[in-house]
Amino acid sequence: MTASPSQLSLLVGSEIWTGSKRQKDALRAKFGGKCAYCGGDLDKMHADHVKPITRVDRDPWGNQLPMAERKQMHPENNVVSNMMPACIGCNLHKGGYSLEEWRALLGHAASILARDKSLFRAALRFGIISANAAPIKFYFEKIGCAS
Ligand SMILES: [Zn+2]
């Protein structure tokens, strides 16, 4: 008996992520060599766990969480279906955040910078930069792919 296409996709999706060359090549090709989040070209690719496996010890605003609120690692998320190709900048910035936590942080970026950086406030005053309230939409969402 052979597996149906849907069974095969389940098998592939639950495959443990090992970071093998075969897995990395397939991941890089997932969005045509683009970062799943910003859409930039992937010079060097990081394999991002959409649902993090790492410990989260800060809130979306960068404040250290009390010990009781820190999240534990989730090795069950170390599967192929949970991986996204990411540029180094996106992967390092997303870190252990979930997509929605990261989206919230990015959505507050202008207000955080305006609060913390006088150069940002000056650049806004002089019209060198501008902030907008556009909702954060990741590249894979713009092109209509589910995570
Ligand atoms: Zn990126």
55-99: per-residue pLDDT in tens? 677 888 889 989 888 765 788 898 999 999 999 999 999 988 999
3 CA → ligand 1 middle, Å: 35
Nearest residue to 89 via CA among 39, 26, 33? 39
Give a yes or no: residue 74 inside a domain: yes
- Residue 121 domain-assigned (yes or no): yes
Overall average pLDDT of the 4-31 stretch: 78
Distance 114 CA to ligand 1 centre (A): 23
Instruction: Look up tokens 């397939």; give the residue.
Output: 26
Query: Which residue segment(s) compose the domain that 26 sits in?
Result: 5-142
pLDDT value of residue 99: 94
Query: Which 3 state secondary structure label does DSSP give 131?
Result: coil
Query: pTM for the complete prediction?
Result: 0.76
pLDDT tens digits along 104-114: 999 999 999 99
Give the span between the Cα atoms of 91 and 70, in whole angstroms: 20
91 C-alpha to ligand 1 centroid (Å): 7
Nearest to 94 by CA among 18, 8, 13, 36: 36
Our count of domains for the chain comes to 1
Expressed in angstroms and rounded, the spacing between residue 116 Cα and the centre of ligand 1 is 24
Question: Which has the minimum average pLDDT: 15-19, 68-72, 113-117?
Answer: 68-72
Is residue 116 situated within a structural domain? yes
- On the CB side of 74, how many CA atoms lie within 13 Å of its CA? 15
Does residue 147 lie within any of the structural domains? no
Residue at 120 is within a domain: yes
Q: Is the residue at 137 inside a domain? A: yes
